[in-house]
Amino acid sequence: MVKRKIEIMDTTLRDGEQTSGVSFSASEKLTIAQLLLEELHVDRVEIASARVSDGEFQAVKTIMDWASQNGYTNRIEVLSFVDNGVSINWMLNAGVKVQNLLTKGSLNHLTHQLKKTAEQHFEEIAAVIALATQNQIETNVYLEDWSNGMRNSKDYVFQFLDFLGQQSVKRVLLPDTLGVLTPSETYEYIAELKSKYPKVHFDFHAHNDYDLSTANVLEAVKAGIDGLHLTVNGMGERAGNAPMASAVAVINDFLPEVKISLKESSIFKVSKLVETFSGIRIPANKPIVGDNVFTQTAGIHADGDNKNNLYFNDLLPERFGRKRTYALGKTSGKANIEKNLQELGLKLNDEDLKKVTQRVIELGDKKETVTKEDLPYIISDVLDSKLYEEKVTVQSYVLTHAKGLRPSATISVSIEGEHFEENAQGDGQFDAFMNALNKVYAKKKLHLPKLIDYAVRIAPGSDSDALCEAIITWETDKKSFKTRGLDSDQTVCAIKATQKMLNII
Ligand SMILES: CC(C)C(=O)C(=O)O
């Protein structure tokens, strides 16, 4: 079967940056654009809106300089406006070669926002397209509010498309600006346009206000759409755009007649980078990229995974550069514990396994988070065994925090019987502690793992004197892992989690 190719345009750097509170720096934009094109293999990238700010101009220019040296100029797009050529000038100065011209795709927007007739609007659009063409800038046209245009002013949409047929336009971009389409309407409207204008290249730009963006993408492809606009982690205005990871999985798994160029195994890496740069946390239950989505929590699921993979579906974590994990907590069964022990290279007899499982369940009952790295401690404690022996201990420390002075730490650490003392300053007490610890390890010519996430919480619903829990995620060249510390003081619980890390590496 010859598969139909669907173009993917990523708009994380334009619509995604319209997520409230997000602003990417020029170097972050360049890094993301490079990863999207070179690692993820998206077809096109929309990187900014014209005229936004001086900073945005610098970012676009930096990306276009890189793109022109690497043959990507015609795959990088900028949203522009019908503004008598002001956007065109801005883009020319930045080296942009493709504009996505924002026009009005519904009569409602045209009459109430622009307060113009269709003829006046078309005349101004024609002038901008002609100017772009004279300056070797290629034009795609966005029909803003197109979905409502199809619902309420279809004749205007057809009149507009007939007009665009006379212009030098490469693609027509169909936004569901307010995220109001249902899947069946998406199918109906796109199928109607594809049968009336079979030669036009149409892109669909979904929004997720009703959580229907991925379903709408699925229907758009079934109806014959030529291209899709997606964003990493579903970032975008209001509830966001169609999330790249879900859309890719849905297309690959449910639409064998089409093909896309995206590399599934790079999705998670790009997703995490965008999470870091944007500061917008990926929800733990976000399909494909969320922390929890490849974690079996119920004992019965872990047990079924051992029996002909009864609880697997086609969304295998390895496809996306991820791994299945088994949670430890109140609902864990023996199978969850065993799976984690296997990872640690440990094995227990049936009776000991039962005791350890019971303890994990008790901890879960107290709302405590149990990580794989806690298991050796739990085993030592429950079985009174010497399975786990601390080779590194933080023997004492003094932490200072005083108004007007930098926090500092003096620490004394024993590493396999050898004693070290160091002090350092930091941005906070824990940072000072880590700086002192790094000095100790530098003396031993060793590197500590990188701290990549740090979360402190008290059990939900407890008072301010409750135990704090620090969960720290560490990363070495080979792996990333979490350690946990419990104490009534939030710095001390982080130090306890750090001591566990020192005994794992
Ligand atoms: C700015 C426009 C193109 C948009 O993102 C939308 O209508 O959804």
Confidence at residue 502, expressed as pLDDT on a 0 to 100 scale: 93
Residue whose Cα lies nearest atom 4 of ligand 1: it is 177
Catalytic residues: 14, 144
| Pairwise CA distance, residues 23 & 205, whole Å | 21
Least confident window among 296-300, 402-406, 448-452: 296-300
What does the mean pLDDT of the chain come to?
A: 93
307 or 266: which leads in pLDDT: 266
Task: pLDDT band for 201, please (50, 70, 90 cuts).
Answer: very high
Residues with CB under 6 A from ligand 1: 15, 102, 142, 144, 175, 177, 205, 207
Ligand 1, pocket-test mutation among 101, 207, 213, most atoms within 8 A of CB: 207
Q: How far is the CA of 100 from the centre of ligand 1 (A)?
A: 10
Contact between residue 181 and residue 223 where contact means Cβ atoms under 8 Å apart? no
Ligand 1, pocket-test mutation among 13, 142, 171, 174, most atoms within 8 A of CB: 142
CA atoms within 13 A on the CB side of 76: 31
| Pairwise CA distance, residues 30 & 14, whole Å | 13
> Which atom number of ligand 1 is nearest to the Cα of residue 14?
5
Residue whose Cα lies nearest atom 8 of ligand 1: it is 177
Confidence at residue 385, expressed as pLDDT on a 0 to 100 scale: 61
Q: How far is the CA of 464 from the centre of ligand 1 (A)?
A: 46
Ligand 1, pocket-test mutation among 177, 213, 228, most atoms within 8 A of CB: 177
Mean pLDDT of 8-22: 97
Distance of CA 437 to the CA centre of its chain: 32
Q: How far is the CA of 229 from the centre of ligand 1 (A)?
A: 10
Q: How far is the CA of 140 from the centre of ligand 1 (A)?
A: 13
Residue whose Cα lies nearest atom 6 of ligand 1: it is 177
Q: Among 46, 105, 55, which residue's Cα sits nearest to residue 79?
A: 46
The secondary element (H helix, E strand) that includes residue 96 is none
Handedness of CA 204, 206, 212, 217 (dihedral sign): positive
pLDDT digits (tens, 9 = 90+) for 361-394: 988 887 777 888 888 778 877 776 655 667 899 9
| DSSP, residue by residue, 122-157 | HHHHHHHHHHHHHTT-EEEEEEETHHHHHHH-HHHH
Residue whose Cα lies nearest atom 5 of ligand 1: it is 15
Residue 8 pairs with which residues in a beta bridge?
A: 228
Residue whose Cα lies nearest atom 2 of ligand 1: it is 144
Q: Among 365, 367, 363, which residue's Cα sits nearest to residue 375?
A: 363
Confidence at residue 384, expressed as pLDDT on a 0 to 100 scale: 67
Calculate what percentage of the chain has a pLDDT beyond 90.
76
The secondary element (H helix, E strand) that includes residue 354 is helix 350-365
pLDDT digits (tens, 9 = 90+) for 37-91: 999 999 999 999 999 999 999 999 999 999 999 999 999 999 999 999 999 999 9
Q: Among 56, 49, 63, which residue's Cα sits nearest to residue 95?
A: 63
Domain range list for the chain = 4-278, 295-384, 392-504
pLDDT digits (tens, 9 = 90+) for 436-471: 999 999 998 999 999 989 988 775 555 555 667 788
Contact between residue 177 and residue 208 where contact means Cβ atoms under 8 Å apart? no
pTM for this entry: 0.83
Mean pLDDT of 191-217: 98
Ranges assigned E (strand) in 285-388: 295-296, 325-326
ipTM value of the model? 0.98
Contact between residue 122 and residue 105 where contact means Cβ atoms under 8 Å apart? no
Q: How far is the CA of 175 from the centre of ligand 1 (A)?
A: 6
| Pairwise CA distance, residues 117 & 96, whole Å | 30
Q: Among 383, 411, 415, which residue's Cα sits nearest to residue 505?
A: 415
**Domain 4-278 CATH superfamily:** Aldolase class I (3.20.20.70)
Confidence at residue 307, expressed as pLDDT on a 0 to 100 scale: 79
Say yes or no to pLDDT of 143 above 90: yes
Contact between residue 298 and residue 331 where contact means Cβ atoms under 8 Å apart? yes
Confidence at residue 495, expressed as pLDDT on a 0 to 100 scale: 95
Domain 392-504 classified CATH 3.40.50.720?
no
